[in-house]
A = this chain, B = another copy of it.
């Protein structure tokens, strides 16, 4: 299903990488020109200036009227006016727009070139498909780096000095380590309960990891959906509802399998098995809901949703999971 132009524009993130940085100068022709005059002008400009597949038709004030493809010039009799053979521009962008918006529009609508105009529709430049491909690759790389808690880097990995790689990683590791201390605080708070039932400790990694995995599944799904323009803030209720049901299904299966595994293969009692499995179920549903919500909220607040990916969600989900665990343990096991 094609997204509408408005949907794509509404959903595209705000960064400093603007269209102005990647646009090029097209060949410009007046609407009164005839086809053979246009061809003559292209010959004068030579191959360097004629590297695009469309020329832009503009009026005396520089306002974009239409696009003429080289194909149209080639296939049309020489005395036709450009006004008669030009196409209305399918879409345009502004120089200050995000370059990712331009690339997304071109990908979505199979455009090889996209005109750039100012607020008065005056032509400023053109974005070409080869640059759009590069933008799509770079933006995907940036998203993946942010999702893994790294500051995106421009240089290829092998050519980056170790110190730069280090600097792109360490602030996030420090921040996340400090946040994890918070989780440690929860455990310390329930130290007496744990001392009374040390067996509970063995299930902490499984609960934390499963919660983290669920959170990362739903957050990455939503981050990519936002980045492709398939989701926006207004989709939040639908996303929540879908994640609630998906989470409930996952929670049921995981909790059931875990319960059977504990009863059959491990020596823990019925109480511990129920506590662990119930915690698992609650954690999975909450992780899915947190994972899908944080990126949408980040976008709403003007941040890149990819920043709200797995590591941050994992830290939050850890805390939720442990609190649930100890509450349930004190309730079911009387600790």
Give A residues with C-beta under 8 Å from B.
1, 39, 42-43, 47, 50-51, 53, 70-71, 73-75, 103, 106-107, 110-112, 129-130, 132-134, 136-137, 140-141, 143-145, 147-150, 156-159, 162-163, 165-166, 169-170, 172-174, 176-178, 180-181, 183-185, 187-188, 191, 194-195, 198-199, 201-206, 208-210, 212-214, 216-217, 219-225, 228, 230-231, 235, 238-239, 242, 245-246, 249-250, 253-254, 257-258, 261, 284, 310-311, 314-315, 318, 322
Can you list 21 A-B pairs with a CB-CB distance of less than 8 A? A1-B156, A42-B71, A47-B71, A53-B112, A107-B133, A107-B137, A133-B133, A140-B140, A144-B147, A149-B213, A149-B216, A157-B231, A158-B231, A166-B249, A170-B249, A173-B217, A176-B210, A177-B209, A181-B206, A204-B204, A212-B212
**Which residues from B are CB-within-8-Å of A188?**
199, 202
Known: A176-B213, A249-B162. A43 touches B257 (CB 8 A): no
A165 to chain B, nearest CB (A): 5
Question: Across the interface, do B246 and A174 meet the contact criterion of CB distance under 8 Å?
Answer: no
The quantity of this chain's copies bound in the complex is: 2
Question: Across the interface, do B170 and A187 meet the contact criterion of CB distance under 8 Å?
Answer: no
A172 to B222, CA, bound (A): 18
Question: Across the interface, do B158 and A75 meet the contact criterion of CB distance under 8 Å?
Answer: no
Having A140-B143, A144-B144, A177-B254, one finds 8 other A-B pairs with CB under 8 Å, namely A47-B75, A50-B71, A70-B71, A144-B220, A147-B220, A162-B246, A176-B209, A185-B202
**Which residues from B are CB-within-8-Å of A71?**
42, 47, 50-51, 53, 70
**Which residues from B are CB-within-8-Å of A51?**
71
**Nearest opposing residue in chain B for A311, CB measure:** B213
Question: Across the interface, do B180 and A210 meet the contact criterion of CB distance under 8 Å?
Answer: yes
A227 to chain B, nearest CB (A): 9
**Nearest opposing residue in chain B for A177, CB measure:** B210
Question: Across the interface, do A187 and B201 meet the contact criterion of CB distance under 8 Å?
Answer: yes
A230 to B191, CA, bound (A): 49
**Which residues from B are CB-within-8-Å of A217?**
148-150, 169, 172-173
A217 to chain B, nearest CB (A): 5
Question: Across the interface, do A208 and B205 meet the contact criterion of CB distance under 8 Å?
Answer: yes
A303 to chain B, nearest CB (A): 18
- Give the residue of B156, B206, B212 whose beta carbon is less than 8 angstroms from that of A183: B206
**Nearest opposing residue in chain B for A52, CB measure:** B71
A180 to B136, CA, bound (A): 36
- Give the residue of B170, B214, B224, B239 whose beta carbon is less than 8 angstroms from that of A144: B224
